[in-house]
Amino acid sequence: MMDRFVAVPSFRNREAPRSTSSAGSSVERLALAAEFGPLARLVADPDATDIFVNGGRDVWVDRGGGLDRADVPTLDAGETRELAVRLVSLGGRHVDEATPCVDVRLAGGVRVHVVLPPIASSGTVVSVRLPPERRLGLEDLAASGMFGGESARVDRLVRTVGARTNLLVTGAGGSGKTTLLGALLGAAPPHERIVTIEDVAELRIDHPHVVGLQSRQANVEGAGDLGLERLVRESLRMRPDRLVLGECRGAEVRELLAALNTGHDGGAGTLHANSLDDVPARLEALGALAGMSPTALARQAVSAIGLVLHLEREGGVRRLTEAGRLALGSDGRLVIERTDW
């Protein structure tokens, strides 16, 4: 909780932060660009954050200020599907009529999502998420305007991490949840062991001891899948000092809350939510998938999660707009109470 702060030095008085350079990731991204064929120039563009290929019709790119139609040769339906299959194969997975929706992580942290027809009714759809060329720390995010220009907020967030408060970062897609979570975890003491669990590895944490687990889809025979729920349980045998679930999206929320309620302080995760007020309903929906009643979910969540940080994106600017604590309402269900951050 916010009142669990411990006396730690101000961020600006700490030992100089580790370099956030990731030249290795940049080189990998440039080398990978050739695999994207006509999209290579967009992938190599350091300002590009997202690329979308829509059913062999058009290509769009986001360079931080919103989507623009890309000035690249248009891929026809066959070329788009060929590109999709090749990229998924590079990520060690397969996409076909039996498995038409696949998400993979490529070199340099590039993330590719593919949907094949007939699920994608207009033709094969390829969505590419491109990470920043270097890992962003809290001061980088402050300079970008994420914290509203108040430097004291950076120090308070660092103290929150130092106090081992369990965090839930919420917001809509593309609001910066994963980026903020990675920056927060980079402020954890260097002697701590961070174990991350993700559907597709996306977190980039500037910390000396990070172990990542990634889910696995079933093979062509339908066997061998490993979901987030199983990986959360496996991670508990790895003695994590901080247990991190990249995104809560299903029944794994039960395993995460159970872990955070049994001595695993300093944990964190992200959750899709349109507003801070929507967080209780989103958690209840995920709890229902795990067979948890609203009241059982509420008791677990209030005890497990110390602070909720909500992000919003306006144009090309991502901002941390609100913070809150989870609490029990008069009916025993989950509510959110806003707090200063």
- Per-residue pLDDT of 185-223, as tens digits, reads 999 999 999 999 998 778 889 999 999 998 887 766 667
Among 97, 129, 161, which residue terminates a domain?
A: 129
Among 89, 105, 129, which residue terminates a domain?
A: 129
Calpha distance 147→152 (Å, rounded) = 9
Whole-prediction pTM = 0.76
The dihedral of CA 188, 189, 191, 192: what is its sign? negative
Mean pLDDT (whole number) for 78-94 = 91
Highest mean pLDDT among 7-16, 18-27, 208-217, 329-338: 329-338
Cis peptide before 118 (omega within 30 of 0): yes
Q: Return the residue matching tokens 């941390």.
A: 320
In which order are the strands placed within the sheet that holds 334-338? 210-214, 194-198, 242-245, 268-272, 167-171, 307-314, 317-328, 334-338
Does residue 211 sit in the same domain as residue 316? yes
**Range with the poorest average pLDDT among 11-15, 144-148, 256-260, 322-326:** 11-15
**Range with the poorest average pLDDT among 248-257, 299-308, 328-337:** 248-257
What distance lies between CA 118 and its chain's CA centroid? 28
Q: How confident is the model at residue 26 (pLDDT cuts 50, 70, 90)?
A: low
Does residue 106 sit in the same domain as residue 223? no
Does residue 327 sit in the same domain as residue 203? yes
Tell me the HSE value of 49 on the side-chain side, using a 13 A CA sphere.
Answer: 15
Among 86, 107, 129, which residue terminates a domain?
A: 129
Q: What is the CATH number of the domain that holds 152?
A: 3.40.50.300
More confident residue, 30 or 163: 163
Calpha distance 92→152 (Å, rounded) = 44
Burial of 331 (0-12, 13-18, 19+ CB in 10 A): exposed
Mean pLDDT (whole number) for 245-255 = 90
313 membership: H or E segment, kind and range: strand 307-314
Does residue 159 sit in the same domain as residue 293? yes
Q: Which residues are CB-contacts of 94 (< 8 A; sequence separation ≥ 6)?
A: 88, 102, 220
Does residue 142 sit in the same domain as residue 68? no
pLDDT in tens, 68-78: 999 888 888 89
Does residue 74 sit in the same domain as residue 164? no
**Range with the poorest average pLDDT among 74-78, 131-135, 155-159, 254-258:** 131-135
Does residue 160 sit in the same domain as residue 204? yes
Does residue 227 sit in the same domain as residue 318? yes
Q: What is the CATH number of the domain that holds 100?
A: 3.30.450.370
Does residue 107 sit in the same domain as residue 185? no
Q: How confident is the model at residue 20 (pLDDT cuts 50, 70, 90)?
A: very low
Domain count, the chain: 2
Enclosing domain of residue 68: 23-129
What secondary structure does DSSP assign to 225-240, as a single string? Answer: -B-HHHHHHHHGGG--
